[in-house]
Structure 1
Amino acid sequence: MSDFLIDDELLAAIDMGSNSFHLAIARVDHGEVKKVASMSEKVQLAAGLDEQKNLTEAAQQRGLACLARFVGRLSSVQPNRLRIVATNALRQAKNGHEFIQRAAEILPKPIEIIAGREEARLIYLGVSHTLANSGRRLVIDIGGGSTELIIGEEFEPIHTESQQMGCVAYSQMFFANGEINSKNFEKALVAARKELSGIANTYKAAGWDTVVGSSGTIKACRQLTINMGWSDAQENLTREGLEKLKDKLLKFKHVAEIDFQGLKEDRRAVLPAGLAILYAIFEVFQIDKLVYSDGALREGVMYDLLGRFQHEDVRDRSVQALLGRYGADPRQARRVVDTAQKLFDDVAPQLGFNTDDRDLLRRAAYLHEIGLAISHSSYHRHGAYLLQHSDIPGFSQIDQNYLSHLVAHHRRKLRQDDKAEVLKVGASKLLWLCLLLRLSVTLNHSRSDEMLPAIELAVLDAQQWQLSVSGDAKQWPLLVADLHDEQVQLKHWDIDLTIQSEQFIS
């Protein structure tokens, strides 16, 4: 973390995009950028570029008025913790310096006009800190004046490109009078394909595991396909859904006629152009599905300001932030983690677990006591609630639901209706992980660094588990009593647990 930033201090970013201006204010929370306020306004600076590439007075006034409103929200942010970046519209504007000088009378910090590839790098940084690391990504951000495409792994971009195509620019070029027809749409498609042709071979040769989209255009297209039932089960934007959206859009003759449920008024005019660009990207790069990310340029700017370039999984940073935020005992968490990983490794082959399952159990083991920050009574339920309803960077709603169930069932009574719910949410694997966490917590009830007896867990079949404890069980009377209690609870979920030692079999 940068020297001048400590926990609970604020930092902010203003992203002066070609279509919209965005303000984000965040606080530093255990090394994470936690957004606390945001504003967004459609300024359409790119629409204010005349034939000589000069910003009109009207466009400048729209931009200056928006910045003045943003400044009214920045009184708690010190200037050295603010960064203001401008993108394609001001890159293109011949009189951009005039606008910057006028804005300097309003803003506490100078505007930085960033190059296209720098914009792409920061977008990737924002996305990579918002989504979990999952191999190599192709990140797509369709702005008002340009479109950024980045291939990267973890927090490092490998290829960064900024293409001269955007939803505002293409609206002016191909849908200037608001008319929609297949001819105009095809012209926009051809132009976008041509723009992409210069990087297509390089990008396809590099390859990627997942495709991630950010920006208003992609957000709107994804939401429309969800509303119409054309997304997949994970609410991802698919090629088939995009095709259906295109066909439905082309039934309208003018942007004023578009009446898609959930489409914002200010997005309607630029939807045909944005959809054409996105459709061309899906075609050229042969994309089948795209995951949406809320992280974008302004988030990347804040992480860049914070100086976070470590190669680490955002989910693990989030876990450590939660552990610190709620004051959970890190030593006890580590004991339970170590035991959980040992038990997991014992039974992984028999139960068909994978590395994702191991990571899920490890993170739940770290977080199993965060509910103590609220109350000791039913703290497992409090912890489950926090994990279910908190905004945790890197975790999907599904992931948070899994964590919530693991923490909810790590202690106290197990009921048959709970079992049914766990199976519904995550099938047998989630149920087994719940039981592994329970056993790990039970084996560490002493909260002591004293060496536990050697233990080994075996799965004889899906309903028959055997826990072997080395040595004479009489040396561990409390542990044996706790394990007896667990035998009773696991039976409620139809698991027969046998406990073995040299002097004891139960």
Structure 2
Amino acid sequence: MAQATPQNNIFAVIDLGSNSFHMLIAKYIAGGVHTIGRVKRKVRLAAGLDEHNVLSVEAMERGWECLALFAERLQDIPKQNIHIVATATMRLAKNADVFKVKAEQILDHKINVISGEEEACTIYKGVAHTSACRGKQLVIDIGGASTEVVIGQGFNALLYKSLNMGCVTYLERYFKDGKLNQQNFDTAIAKAKQVVAPICAEYIKMGWELAIGASGTVQAIQEIQAAQGQSETLDLNTLNAIKAAACQFDTISALDLPGLSEERRLVFVSGLAILIALFESLQIQNMGLAGGALREGVLYSMIPDLHSADIRKRTLDGLMERYHVDKQQAERVAEVSISLAEQVSETWQLDMEQIKPLLQAVACLHEIGLIIDYKLYHKHSAYILTHSAMPGFSRAEKQLIVAITAGHRADLRVTQFDKLSCNALLGERLTRLVRLAVVLSMRRQNDVLPELRLASSENDTLELSFDNDWLSIHPLMQSELVQEGLYQQKLKRVFSVS
């Protein structure tokens, strides 16, 4: 049925990039942003720039054709909820106004050509709103015609530059013949280093704690690593190994690396060359992937309610509201699990500053699967979390939260934490604590528990003790804790009650 009025909680962001045009459609609901549509088209606008920075008619026509598709979707969205930005190619092109005038007619909306500095700050904002935002962060976004390099903390960009190099322009300059060889790579890397050189000293002096990539190049490398069963964290050795593997192919058209998508193949090698130059010049040790960038930065700026500094709380509150979680029960489980963790923190060498947010998140989210069915609700909860965005939590933190949620009740397997890699032991330990907290909170009432003492000894043995003779007058609780001891035996761990 036709809708009489547009929905005021629907927002659209269009990013006229140098490589691709993107349209993001999102709905603001339950205190959070939920993507309800994405459209992406490879336009390669930057490939239409000649040596005098004049944009070809062919490139402009590719862009106009794409925007005609976008326009169909925009007609249902309130004009005040639409924001359209154009980046490097539109900044560079001497005849950008020719493209812009017709594009605005097609879209029936103004296009904002943003400066390189504004682009860098907006990219950082998108990363800060969608990633684990702690300490100083180095954010790098390799676009089609420019590369943004930002150091920020919290929601504030502290140092930001937009560099005149991108995966499309470098493809045209240094891989124009379509050939893959060491010489082409080395030339592209050397030229990129020259572009980066003026900013190196200032960035290295300021320093950072975490490096994050917000571009398709970083995502493509992660997908290649995942296809080979390797870690998702990027380092220089990984980049050079992928470069060597790429050089085994004579041409870009023949490039066929496991995990590399056809969509990304054409501009992959030029993006890789720029990334290697950045790693070497800025002395980057390792890098992860951001959850968002320019489009998300624009989107979050449009919704005042999302300017809250506590991203994690916003994420948890949104999920709890959406899945009708019992908030009081979540608070009980959080309080008990954190109390138990503090009692064994010295023996288990737990960093409580790191552990508390994880236990809090699991307590808030472990029952979201109840909305589907009780019997396997822990599995439903884990499935929902696996396929939900969790801004404010890193990929590793989300994996821990999902694993603990999946294992917080019922049967256990000795292999179920293997996928957590270096966090396997931590995941197992926190799961054991949360399981106890869930059992101890089974009455779903406050002030029903006596003083509890949890001790850990060799081989991760746990012993839970109660004041006085409390357990003997609560036989159901005693029975559940005895059963929990049997479950934990399957992990080859001992849990006992006294």
What TM-score, normalized to structure 2? 0.88
Structure 2 residue aligned with 1:301: 298
Structure 1 residue aligned with 2:32: 32
Which residue among 405, 408, 416 is the counterpart of 1:407?
405
Q: 1:83 to 1:460 in 2, by over 3 A?
A: same
CA contact (8 A) 2:8 2:78 kept: no
Give the C-alpha shift of residue 237 in structure 1. Answer: 2.6
Structure 1 residue aligned with 2:103: 103
CA contact (8 A) 1:414 1:489 kept: no
Which residue among 459, 462, 479 is the counterpart of 2:456?
459
- C-alpha distance in 2 between matches for 1:143 and 1:324: 37
CA contact (8 A) 1:26 1:34 kept: yes
CA contact (8 A) 1:135 1:209 kept: yes
Give the C-alpha shift of residue 326 in structure 1. Answer: 0.5
CA contact (8 A) 2:152 2:159 kept: yes
Secondary structure of residue in 1 paired with 2:74 = coil
- C-alpha distance in 1 between matches for 2:151 and 2:301: 18
Say if 2:148 is the partner of 1:148. yes
CA contact (8 A) 1:24 1:38 kept: yes
Say if 2:470 is the partner of 1:473. yes
CA contact (8 A) 2:291 2:391 kept: no
Which residue among 390, 393, 398 is the counterpart of 1:392?
390
Number of equivalent positions: 486
Structure 2 residue aligned with 1:379: 377
Structure 1 residue aligned with 2:231: 234
Give the C-alpha shift of residue 96 in structure 1. Answer: 1.6
Give the C-alpha shift of residue 481 in structure 1. Answer: 3.3
CA contact (8 A) 2:279 2:285 kept: yes
CA contact (8 A) 2:366 2:378 kept: yes
Structure 1 residue ranges without an equivalent (≥5): 1-6, 500-505
Say if 2:305 is the partner of 1:327. no
Q: 1:250 to 1:484 in 2, by over 3 A?
A: closer
Which residue among 339, 344, 366 is the counterpart of 2:341?
344
Secondary structure of residue in 1 paired with 2:123 = helix
Structure 1 residue aligned with 2:3: none
CA contact (8 A) 1:46 1:145 kept: yes
Equivalences for residues 400-439 of structure 1 within 5 A: 400-411=398-409, 413-414=410-411, 418-422=413-417, 425=420, 427-439=424-436
Give the C-alpha shift of residue 58 in structure 1. Answer: 1.7
Secondary structure of residue in 2 paired with 1:41 = strand
Structure 1 residue aligned with 2:174: 174
CA contact (8 A) 2:148 2:163 kept: yes
Give the C-alpha shift of residue 497 in structure 1. Answer: 4.8
Q: 1:16 to 1:447 in 2, by over 3 A?
A: same
Structure 2 residue ranges without an equivalent (≥5): 1-6
CA contact (8 A) 2:382 2:402 kept: yes
Amino acid at match of 1:376: Y
CA contact (8 A) 1:435 1:490 kept: no
Structure 2 residue aligned with 1:365: 363
Secondary structure of residue in 2 paired with 1:52 = coil
- C-alpha distance in 2 between matches for 1:360 and 1:99: 49
CA contact (8 A) 2:362 2:404 kept: yes
Give the C-alpha shift of residue 423 in structure 1. Answer: 6.4
Q: 1:212 to 1:21 in 2, by over 3 A?
A: same
Q: Identity over the aligned pairs, expressed in percent?
A: 36
CA contact (8 A) 1:8 1:29 kept: no
RMSD of aligned alpha carbons: 2.8
Say if 2:242 is the partner of 1:245. yes
Secondary structure of residue in 2 paired with 1:106 = helix
Residues 334-343 or 241-250, more deviating: 241-250
CA contact (8 A) 2:141 2:215 kept: yes
Q: 1:335 to 1:242 in 2, by over 3 A?
A: same
Give the C-alpha shift of residue 22 in structure 1. Answer: 0.7
Q: Give per-residue Cα distances to partners, 1:402-445, cap 9 Å, x unaligned.
A: 3334334434x445xx2443467554433332232222223323
- C-alpha distance in 2 between matches for 1:200 and 1:100: 35
Give the C-alpha shift of residue 252 in structure 1. Answer: 4.6
What TM-score, normalized to structure 1? 0.87
- C-alpha distance in 2 between matches for 1:347 and 1:184: 56
- C-alpha distance in 2 between matches for 1:239 and 1:265: 24
Residues 488-497 or 186-195, more deviating: 488-497
Give the C-alpha shift of residue 400 in structure 1. Answer: 4.1
Give the C-alpha shift of residue 143 in structure 1. Answer: 0.8
